[in-house]
Amino acid sequence: MEPNEFLKITATLSVLRQVKRFFLVKKNYPLLEKYVADLPLLADFGKQIKKQITNEGLVSDRATQELFRLRCRLKKFKRES
């Protein structure tokens, strides 16, 4: 998957939370309320994506310690060249 596709997943998860909240608060749709009550929100998954993918759809320098270290070395190398 491309990093920007992960951003689409976080957007979908956000909409899912809004839909669930809407139906559970309104209480006017008992049949739908029964279904949305069981929807998993996967909040931790969405948070992990946001920590590792920038708003521009790029992998964050801080996605992993190793990636951070490598990108710092690359920046230093470019400055010295």
The answer to whether the CB of 72 falls within 8 A of the CB of 66 is no
Q: Is the pTM of this model over 0.85?
A: no
Closest of 39, 45, 54, 68 to residue 7, by C-alpha: 54
Residue 18, pLDDT score: 92
Rounded mean pLDDT for each run of 10 residues along the chain, 81 residues in total = 89 92 86 86 88 88 89 91 81
pLDDT score for 3 = 83
